[in-house]
Amino acid sequence: MALAMYGRIFDDAESEQAVLQKLFSPTRQAINVARVYNAKERKLQVEAQSRGDSAQQDVSPAFLLEINKIYDDVFRVIAQRQEQAPAEQRNEDQFCLFTDQDAPHPIKDSEYVPIALQGGKPSPAEDGTSLELDEDELQIAQPEEADEIVPAEAAVYEEERAAAQNGPAAVPIQAHLIPEEEELDVEAPAEEILTAASETGEGEKPRFGYGSLEAESEAKTEPAAQAQADAAGEEPNIFERQLTLDGVIAPERQDSARPADPIPMETVRKPRVFLLILYTLIAIPVTLFGLALLLIPTALCLILAAGVIAAGVSALVAAFSSGLTPFANILLVLGTALVVLALGLLFLWLFVWLIFGGMGGLIRGVVNLGRKWCYREVSV
């Protein structure tokens, strides 16, 4: 990645010496990029991308932003130097396709001119995305006076034209084919370029890195998939570009209409050993003391329940076996027995609740508290 970055910077730069002065140390810049590269985070992002998580697709990795920052800084300095340089220093012998009258002509999106014929330097703002020109569009690039083209440039032009005619319907044109308008925008600050790109929906697109290589791979492997994606008006983001480049996923477009599934993150609970030992040493006596305190009302409820239920059963038996003659007295004993049995049932339930709700809840609470304090979840 870093090597591709330097290759693109030196290829796009007009003066390699100026680039070297700006970089100061290419190794140092590479270290800066490596510092912001988080392998674990990148792995999670790649996994999320492979699972089709749309939230992760829109996030640019930090190292890519760092590379873009270096790229913008270098060419901003170069653009400033070019702005300070007098216009008279332009090489008069250099071939230029367009005259001065053509300069303010607002170029359209489809009007791309091969830089080899234009004679200017390539624009750093172009990310090398494969631009496909059909034969009609290539007519724009044809010189009005073909006899004035130097032989080397004419050979390049003829090679491209032959490829356009003999190959597939379109010719993938790399970074050396740039719109004329973007060459003028090089002098703009990097923030303005980023703002303009974000307004046109290209904010997530890296300026370089994946661009040229990915464009080559797309042109070689899946032109149909790219055409389908372009027809749908979708722009593959940087993760798809890298995954395509790395061969992790197939070059065809991911199904963006698929709903984003939540990522099942596998976590492992790891104990904090010292805290766990300390908590165990404290929690066990406290829990035992709480259980002992709860045993008192529990036993009291059990005794009361047993006594009251026994009294109720005795009254119930006595109501029918004691020889009470008027039925009104039997009803009195029967009503009393029912009330006593109801109280006995209530005490019995209190006993059960104190055992399972009180003591069990105390133990469960202590265990859950220890699980919360003494364990941490680590994603695998």
In the complex, the residues that contact other proteins under the rule CB under 8 A are 314, 318, 322-324, 326-339, 341-343, 345-346, 349, 353, 356-357
Task: Name the nearest CA neighbour of 60 among 34, 86, 42.
Answer: 42
The DSSP bridge partners found for residue 378 are 268
The DSSP bridge partners found for residue 177 are 114
How many CB atoms are closer than 10 A to CB 34?
12
Task: Name the nearest CA neighbour of 96 among 120, 112, 123, 113.
Answer: 120
CB of 307 to other proteins, least distance (A): 10
- Cα–Cα distance between 251 and 364 in angstroms, integer? 53
Q: Which two tokens stand for residue 161?
A: 């034209």
The three-point CA angle 197-249-379 to 5° equals 90
Mapping DSSP onto H, E and C, the string for 351-376 reads HHHHHHHHHHHHHHHHHHHHHHHHEE
**CA–CA distances in Å: residue 370 to residues 167, 273, 275, 278:** 70, 11, 9, 10
Closest to other proteins by CB, 142 vs 368, is 368
CB of 291 to other proteins, least distance (A): 19
> Which residues, at least 6 apart from 351, have a Cβ–Cβ distance to it below 8 Å?
298, 301, 302, 305
CB of 355 to other proteins, least distance (A): 12
Closest to other proteins by CB, 292 vs 328, is 328
Closest to other proteins by CB, 264 vs 323, is 323
Closest to other proteins by CB, 197 vs 346, is 346
CB of 301 to other proteins, least distance (A): 13
**DSSP structural state of residue 132:** E
Q: What is the C-alpha R_g of the chain? A: 40
CB of 328 to other proteins, least distance (A): 3
Closest to other proteins by CB, 289 vs 356, is 356
CB of 349 to other proteins, least distance (A): 4
How many CB atoms are closer than 10 A to CB 205?
20
Q: With H, G, I as helix, E, B as strand and everything else as coil, classify residue 94.
A: coil
Closest to other proteins by CB, 94 vs 329, is 329
Closest to other proteins by CB, 346 vs 362, is 346
CB of 299 to other proteins, least distance (A): 15
On whether the CB atoms of residues 337 and 319 are closer than 8 A, the answer is yes
Closest to other proteins by CB, 211 vs 344, is 344
CB of 339 to other proteins, least distance (A): 4
